[in-house]
């Protein structure tokens, strides 16, 4: 375990370590054991000008400490999907959710307008581990991941396909439909 976690502020500790170290190698417990950890993490989550990466990590740590996610964090989470973390933390479209993707689903319908906004993002997913070859082979993009999460929230079948081309049309149609639904339901 790194001694650096004990020194400086929680913000500095989060900036100096990795998501893997926090959630896979036990640093989360060390962070949460600090004096005033919950209060300091709440400040990071609530800082409007804070960086999305730090705010998502702080929110995840607060949830480990038994706190519910703040509703206003739905926008931060969805805006972080494109590039704040490697995409295995969000999930693999049509296959499974990652830790942060599970949190997005907890926001339920509040997440739909923000996910709709990401559905036309054609940037390739960047994954490590067992998801990497599947993401590459199927050419999954950020828009696919956003559509997958929206489908899970609304309990719909995700329009998966062998490649990017077979998913583009159904995803664009889904985006238009959900945008209209978000307006009609008052989610947007």
Would the pTM count as exceeding 0.95? no
What tens digit of pLDDT does each residue of 2-40 get?
A: 444 445 789 998 999 999 999 999 999 999 999 999 999
Q: Which tokens hold the place of 109?
A: 């319908």
Average pLDDT, stretch 89-116? 97
What per-residue confidence (pLDDT) applies to 49? 81
Which residue is it, tokens 């959630």? 23
The span from the CA of 95 to the CA of 145, in Å, is 10
- pLDDT score, position 150: 98
* pLDDT tens digit sequence for 49-94: 879 999 999 999 999 999 999 999 999 999 999 999 999 999 999 9
Mean pLDDT for the stretch of residues 118-131 = 96
> How far, in Å, are 96, 119, 147 from residue 78 at the CA level?
17, 11, 12
Query: What token pair was written down for 123?
Result: 């940037």
Domain residue spans in the chain?
A: 1-70, 85-188
**Is the distance from CB of 114 to CB of 74 less than 8 angstroms?**
yes
């Amino acid at each position: 375990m790194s001694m650096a976690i004990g020194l400086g502020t929680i913000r500095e500790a989060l900036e100096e370590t990795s998501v893997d170290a926090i959630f896979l190698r036990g640093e989360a417990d060390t962070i949460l054991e600090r004096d005033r950890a919950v209060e300091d993490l709440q400040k990071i989550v609530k800082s409007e000008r804070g960086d999305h990466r730090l705010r998502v990590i702080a929110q995840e740590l607060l949830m480990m400490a038994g706190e519910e996610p703040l509703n206003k964090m739905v926008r931060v989470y969805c805006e972080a999907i494109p590039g704040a973390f490697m995409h295995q933390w969000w999930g693999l479209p049509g296959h499974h959710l990652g830790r942060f993707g599970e949190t997005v689903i907890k926001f339920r319908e509040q997440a739909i307008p923000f996910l709709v906004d990401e559905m036309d993002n054609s940037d390739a997913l960047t994954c490590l581990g067992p998801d990497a070859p599947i993401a590459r082979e199927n050419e999954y993009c950020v828009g696919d991941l956003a559509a997958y999460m929206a489908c899970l929230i609304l309990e719909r079948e995700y329009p998966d396909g062998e490649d990017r081309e077979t998913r583009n049309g159904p995803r664009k149609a889904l985006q238009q439909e959900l945008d209209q639904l978000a307006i009609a339901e008052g989610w947007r």
